[in-house]
């Protein structure tokens, strides 16, 4: 079976801007990484804010707003959300018609992941003893200050392992961007697999790049976890998730 493989397919000229399929694939990898990292930043910012909303004391409207956000985004399949952002929302909000597919995919993937991160932030905050909140209040901190200086730093140390999984998942979930013609890795595999009639080699190359991307994120998060670990609070994980 191995003798029938043709790895030189990556060295062929695709007849476009890139001299070889290998270089074209790397270009598409760049789009995958760009979509994933921008969506991750958006998800972390929005997810943290929504997670805080769900834990605010004496603010039932904020809790309901955060719950509405989480349940709305995590109960709709990601691919459906991609199509909603691409077809429906620009029709309802004309100003968004000028946004590119790339931006719309970043918004869809970022908001989808933010709902999952919000739940992790909420769980991390609620895991902390109430005494930490009261200690911050006793020191005269405002709500913003005791979240900023007491609760969030501790909560994020606790939730780094599940955050690592979300960061890795966002690279894998970025593959749905092919549905709206963003030229990322899955789009490349579909297009070039049909064009060259060598789908096995192409998909194996693309799979290797997804694995490299996710593993790199895993190592970065493991490094952050090791550097921020509080002895006695979070058990040593051995460097992996």
pLDDT in tens, 78-135: 999 999 999 999 999 988 889 999 999 999 999 999 999 999 999 999 998 888 888 8
3-class secondary-structure state, position 5: coil
Confidence of residue 180 (pLDDT cuts 50, 70, 90): confident
Confidence of residue 61 (pLDDT cuts 50, 70, 90): very high
Residues 6+ apart with CB under 8 A from 7: 201
What are 4-55's pLDDT values in tens digits? 888 888 999 888 788 899 999 999 999 999 999 999 999 999 999 999 999 9
Higher pLDDT, 232 or 198: 198
Look at the domain 29-228 and name its fold: MetI-like fold (1.10.3720)
Residue 238 is predicted with a pLDDT of 45
* Percent of the chain clearing pLDDT 90 (strictly above): 68
Residue 75 · residue 155 · CB < 8 Å: no
In angstroms, the Cα distances linking 65 to 129, 140, 167, 210 are: 25, 27, 25, 35
């Amino acid at each position: 079976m191995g003798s029938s493989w043709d790895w030189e397919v990556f060295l062929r000229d695709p007849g476009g801007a890139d001299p070889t399929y290998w270089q074209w694939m790397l270009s598409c990898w760049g789009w995958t990484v760009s979509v994933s990292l921008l969506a991750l930043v958006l998800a972390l910012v929005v997810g943290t804010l929504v997670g805080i909303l769900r834990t605010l004391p004496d603010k039932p409207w904020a809790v309901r707003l955060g719950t509405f956000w989480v349940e709305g985004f995590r109960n709709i399949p990601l691919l459906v959300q991609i199509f909603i952002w691409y077809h429906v929302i620009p029709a309802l909000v004309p100003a968004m018609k000028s946004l590119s597919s790339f931006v719309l995919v970043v918004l869809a993937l970022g908001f989808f992941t933010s709902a999952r991160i919000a739940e992790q932030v909420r769980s991390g905050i609620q895991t902390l003893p109430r005494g930490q909140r009261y200690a911050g209040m006793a020191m005269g901190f405002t709500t913003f200050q005791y979240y900023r200086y007491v609760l969030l730093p501790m909560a994020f140390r606790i939730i780094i392992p599940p955050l690592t999984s979300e960061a890795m998942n966002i690279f894998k979930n970025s593959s749905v961007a092919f549905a709206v013609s963003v030229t990322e890795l899955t789009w490349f595999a579909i297009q070039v697999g049909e064009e060259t009639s060598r789908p096995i080699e192409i998909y194996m190359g693309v799979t290797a790049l997804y694995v490299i991307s996710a593993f790199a994120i895993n190592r970065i998060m493991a490094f952050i976890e090791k550097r921020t670990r509080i002895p006695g609070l979070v058990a040593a994980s051995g460097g992996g998730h």
